[in-house]
């Protein structure tokens, strides 16, 4: 019983990050029909800045919690700025061009990889603990930081879901992702929405990065692993579908956790891969895909 609870909690922790990550990927794909491999770098910028700022601010004697909030603010701002730059000078010209945008994003991946290595160095950064201590849930022990991460992920996901369902912007984003021409005929300003969708996705990635920084080792290539898993989650769920992304992310997280526990991480990764292929045989556009 204790194992089951422990595994469930771990799945939820990993799943929380995958959800934030794949929500951004699926949002960008839905609105702009592009595949953005540079998404992992928006995540990495934020995680790196949080790690650097936190050590620096803590070194100046600022208490750890305000320091963390300041660092998160800096990380999210930096990611949003980077997202804005790559949208305005790049992806803006490649909307609805899957191959072109993908190639551009691969170029950005290489370029940003190189730049991050130059700026931050290849070393591993440890981030000081924000919320020390752990709690017992039904006999399984969880550190407070991880609990905080899960809670925040749930709050952010719920907020996004609410915004997409009830606000005018959210409705317009969904309309565009179903049929952008029909949406434009209804007076939806497509190009402004594309920017809005891209920036929301960038902020989601930044928040995921800021949340993961304290409970993980931060390196300039931290985005790559999450990117692969995030994309697998989105393929399983169906590109462009929000519930699909959540479902896919949880699915990947459960298999990864259970597989790593009973077998080993390698077999878990390969199992995920085989399952993706099986899902695509039955539903070539993912579980909830329609586009």
Partner 1 sequence: MADTLRLPYCAAGIAAAIGASLLVSDPYVASVVNLVSIAALIAVSLRFVMLIGELNFATAAFVGIGAYTTGSVLTIWDWPFGIAMISGGIAAAAVSVVFGYVTLRTKGPYFLLIGFAFTEAVRIIYSKSMGLGGNSGMVGIFPPIAFDPWMPTFVMSIAALLIFVLYVIEKSDFGKIFTAIRDNEDVARTVGLNILFVKVACFAIASFAAGVAGSLHAVVNNVISPGDFSFLLAAFALAYVKVGGEDNIVGPIVGAILLVVLGSYALGLGGHEHIFYGAAIVLAVLLMPEGVTGLLHKGRDFVMARGKRNAD
Asked if residue 263 binds partner 1 (CB under 8 A), the reply is no
Helix (H, G, I), strand (E, B) or coil at 60: coil
Asked if residue 110 binds partner 1 (CB under 8 A), the reply is yes
Asked if residue 255 binds partner 1 (CB under 8 A), the reply is no
> In this chain, which of 103, 152, 163, 175 binds partner 1, going by CB under 8 A?
103
Where helices occur in 90-221 by DSSP H, the ranges are 98-120, 144-166, 168-178, 180-185, 190-212
Asked if residue 112 binds partner 1 (CB under 8 A), the reply is yes
Closest distance of CB 80 from partner 1, Å: 20
Asked if residue 273 binds partner 1 (CB under 8 A), the reply is yes
Site string for partner 1, 226-245 (x = CB under 8 A): --x--xx--x---x------
Largest CA distance in the chain: 57
Residues 6+ apart with CB under 8 A from 90: 104, 108
Asked if residue 286 binds partner 1 (CB under 8 A), the reply is yes
> CA-to-CA distance for 280 and 261, rounded, in angstroms?
26
> CA-to-CA distance for 285 and 150, rounded, in angstroms?
29
> In this chain, which of 60, 61, 187, 281 binds partner 1, going by CB under 8 A?
281
> CA-to-CA distance for 11 and 277, rounded, in angstroms?
22
The residue ranges that bind partner 1 (CB under 8 A) are: 29, 35, 89-90, 93-94, 98-100, 102-104, 106-115, 117-118, 228, 231-232, 235, 239, 266, 269-270, 273, 276-277, 280-281, 284-286
């Amino acid at each position: 019983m204790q194992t089951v609870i422990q595994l469930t909690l771990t799945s939820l922790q990993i799943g929380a990050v995958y959800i934030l990550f794949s929500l951004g990927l699926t949002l960008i794909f839905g609105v702009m029909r592009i595949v953005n491999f540079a998404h992992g770098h928006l995540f990495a910028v934020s995680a790196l800045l949080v790690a650097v700022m936190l050590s620096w601010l803590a070194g100046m004697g600022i208490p750890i919690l305000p320091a963390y909030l300041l660092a998160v603010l800096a990380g999210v701002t930096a990611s949003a700025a980077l997202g804005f730059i790559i949208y305005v000078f790049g992806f803006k010209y490649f909307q609805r061009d899957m191959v072109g945008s993908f190639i551009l994003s691969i170029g950005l991946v290489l370029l940003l990889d190189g730049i991050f290595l130059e700026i931050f160095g290849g070393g591993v950064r440890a981030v000081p603990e924000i919320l020390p201590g752990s709690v017992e849930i039904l006999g399984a022990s969880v550190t407070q930081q991880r609990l905080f991460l899960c809670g925040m992920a749930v709050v952010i996901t719920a907020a996004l879901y609410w915004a997409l369902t009830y606000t005018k912007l959210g409705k317009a984003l969904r309309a565009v992702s179903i049929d952008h021409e029909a949406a434009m005929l209804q007076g939806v300003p497509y190009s402004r929405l594309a920017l809005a969708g891209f920036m929301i996705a960038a902020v989601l990635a930044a928040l995921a990065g800021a949340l993961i920084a304290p409970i993980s080792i931060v390196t300039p290539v931290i985005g790559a692993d999450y990117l692969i898993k995030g994309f697998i989650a989105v393929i399983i769920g169906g590109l462009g579908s929000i519930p699909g992304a959540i479902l896919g992310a949880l699915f990947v997280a459960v298999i990864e956790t259970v597989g790593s526990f009973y077998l080993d991480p390698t077999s878990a990764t390969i199992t995920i891969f085989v399952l993706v292929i099986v899902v695509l045989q039955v539903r070539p556009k993912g579980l909830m895909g329609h586009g």
